[in-house]
């Protein structure tokens, strides 16, 4: 399978900086002080396992006061559309949200990824087989991920994600995964 990058934000440094600062400000207002410390820590890490490819990443994506592009690229690669090989620059706010959630749960386990980026082609194919796939899914923008966390009950993960009050939280108990995204604050599922 050939990997192809279909979108990066490298040509938008001022927009990226604005979004980073906006997320940090929103996060600090929405979170208890303990979680504000996560955002201000000198290093931020994220561990993921893609359940479809078996690929793993344990990345220090924030260090020395800035995002680490090689580490973000490694995360993007693991979160690529495994059906097409397309790689998308995932929303840094989603990466930060995952980091916050990991700290909230206080787990040492990597997130198990069911779905990260989805190409429009993949999303359309999935929509044909399921009414639960949104036509304008945030997965296609690199702003959503479907996960589970070993040794953590799905309901506990859902409650932790909802308590952050950042983005959407979809609870899929029958399929044993949680959808989180950086869209508006909302929740659904059972």
DSSP class per residue in 122-154: HHHHHHHH-TTS-TT-GGGGT-EEEEE-TTS-H
Alpha-carbon distances, residue 156 vs 27, 45, 74, 104 (angstroms): 21, 22, 28, 10
Question: Taking a C-beta distance cutoff of 8 angstroms, is the pair 106, 24 a contact?
Answer: no
For residue 86, report the phi and psi dihedrals to the nearest 5 degrees. -65, 135
**Beta-strand pair 144-148/56-63:** unpaired
Of the pLDDT bands very low, low, confident and very high (cuts 50, 70, 90), residue 24 is low
Between CA 9 and CA 15 the distance in angstroms is 9
Q: What share of the chain is helix, strand, coil (3-state, %, to 5)?
A: 40, 25, 35
The pLDDT value recorded for residue 28 is 47
- Residue holding tokens 């939280």? 169
Question: Taking a C-beta distance cutoff of 8 angstroms, is the pair 164, 100 a contact?
Answer: yes
**Average of per-residue pLDDT across 11-39:** 52
pLDDT digits (tens, 9 = 90+) for 45-90: 999 999 999 999 999 999 999 999 999 999 999 999 999 999 999 9
Cα-Cα end-to-end distance for the chain: 36
Count of the separate structural domains present in the chain: 1
Nearest 10 degrees: Cα torsion 73, 76, 77, 78: 130
Of the pLDDT bands very low, low, confident and very high (cuts 50, 70, 90), residue 19 is low
pLDDT digits (tens, 9 = 90+) for 144-184: 999 999 999 999 999 999 999 999 999 999 999 999 999 99
Between CA 129 and CA 92 the distance in angstroms is 30
Stated pTM of the model: 0.80
CATH code, domain carrying 26: 3.30.1380.10
Range of the domain at 21: 4-189
Neighbours of 189 (CB within 10 A): 15
Residue 23 has pLDDT above 60, yes or no: no
pLDDT digits (tens, 9 = 90+) for 96-151: 999 999 999 999 999 999 999 999 999 899 888 876 788 889 999 999 999 999 99
The pLDDT value recorded for residue 144 is 97
Residue 27 has pLDDT above 60, yes or no: no
């Amino acid at each position: 399978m050939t990997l192809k990058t279909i979108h990066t934000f490298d040509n938008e440094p001022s927009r990226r900086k604005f979004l980073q600062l906006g997320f940090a400000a929103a996060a600090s207002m929405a979170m208890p002080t303990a979680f504000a410390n996560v955002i201000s820590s000198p290093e931020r890490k994220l561990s993921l396992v893609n359940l479809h490819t078996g690929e793993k990443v344990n990345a220090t994506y924030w260090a020395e006061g800035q995002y680490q592009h090689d580490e973000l690229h490694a995360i993007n690669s693991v979160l690529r559309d495994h059906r097409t090989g397309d790689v998308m620059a995932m929303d840094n706010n989603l990466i930060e949200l995952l980091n916050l959630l990991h700290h909230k749960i206080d787990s040492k386990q990597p997130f198990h990824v069911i779905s990260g980026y989805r190409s429009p082609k993949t999303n359309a194919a999935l929509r044909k087989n399921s009414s639960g796939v949104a036509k304008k899914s945030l997965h296609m923008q690199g702003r959503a991920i479907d996960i589970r966390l070993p040794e953590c009950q799905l309901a506990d993960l859902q409650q932790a994600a909802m308590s952050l009050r950042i983005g959407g939280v979809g609870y899929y108990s029958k399929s044993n995964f949680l959808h989180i995204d950086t869209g508006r604050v909302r929740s659904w599922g059972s």
